[in-house]
Structure 1
Amino acid sequence: MKVTVDQDLCYGSADCVYRVGSVFTTVDGFGAVIPGREDTGDDPRVREAAEQCPSQAISITDGQ
């Protein structure tokens, strides 16, 4: 499962970084997925970060 952050929706709360710093980071003040960590959507912590994202900017897809 692939995880992404929509930069147009993100408003930079950094909640994702706080929850799963091994997968998320900030770039120019907005949430982003650390390069090479895009395929971590199966991780329950990543799923929780997506569900709890205050701007609903995190998406998890089947990667296709």
Structure 2
Amino acid sequence: MRISVDPERCYGSGDCAYRVPAVFTVVDGFGAVQPGREDAGDDPAVREAVEGCPSQAITLAE
């Protein structure tokens, strides 16, 4: 599953980067997916980060 972060919705809590630093990072104060990690959506920790995103900015797609 492919991960994406909508920069228009993200308000920069950093929760995703705190939960799964191998997949998410913070760029210019907003959450982002680490380069090359866009397809890590099958990881259970990533799914938790998606569900726990306070701004609902992270999505998974097939």
TM-score, scaled to structure 2: 0.99
Percent sequence identity over aligned pairs: 68
Counterpart in the other structure of 1:10: 10
SS of the residue 1:56 aligns to: coil
Counterpart in the other structure of 1:52: 52
Q: Could you give the per-residue CA deviations for residues 2-21 of structure 1, whole angstroms, max 9, x where no partner exists?
A: 00100000000000000000
TM-score, scaled to structure 1: 0.96
What amino acid does structure 2 have at the position aligned with 1:48?
E
Aligned-pair Cα RMSD in Å: 0.3
Counterpart in the other structure of 1:27: 27
Aligned length: 62
The unaligned stretches of length 5 or more in structure 1 are: none
